[in-house]
Amino acid sequence: MNKAIFFDMDGTIADLYGVDGWLDDLRAECVRPYAEARPLVNMSRLARRLNQLIARGYSVNVISWTSRGGSPEYNEAVKAVKLAWLAKHLPSVKWDNVFIVSYGTPKNTLGRGVLFDDEKPNRDAWGAGAYDQTEIFTILKEMVT
């Protein structure tokens, strides 16, 4: 059994799309929406589950994309803001890997195991073990018990 868990950020654990003016800001290469995105799940509960799984030998990881069409400088700023978001909202979680990669990078080339992602094409490409964001706590609970 592969004991690796991967999370997408935007639309999965971070509510990027709920930030007012997010698309205009991304087109203007402004990182504000990434910084202001609210959590989509209970972060304390998520951290507790992830730390239980880490204690059982699981690796926990993030695979998230930079902005579509962003300049190299903007994408570096996006990476920094996403790392800061994770540190702010999940400070107790020691991530094994945080992959913040170019928009459209096939996520299935970066790992195997369980993936939580809001985008169906990413889940389809991942194959078995891919779930949408609504299933995070159900699947993690099954993994802990």
Q: What does the longest C-alpha to C-alpha distance in the chain come to?
A: 46
Helix or strand or coil: residue 27?
A: helix
Give the domain CATH number at 30: 3.40.50.1000
Structural domain boundaries, residue 78: 4-144
Do 58 and 95 contact (CB within 8 A), yes or no?
no
pLDDT in tens, 83-121: 999 999 999 999 999 999 999 999 999 999 999 999 999
pLDDT in tens, 111-145: 999 999 999 999 999 999 999 999 999 999 999 98
pTM for the structure as a whole: 0.96
Report CA-CA distances (Å) from 50 to 22, 63, 77, 89, 100: 29, 16, 27, 13, 20
What span, in angstroms and rounded, lies between the C-alpha atoms of 46 and 90?
A: 8
Number of separate domains in the chain: 1
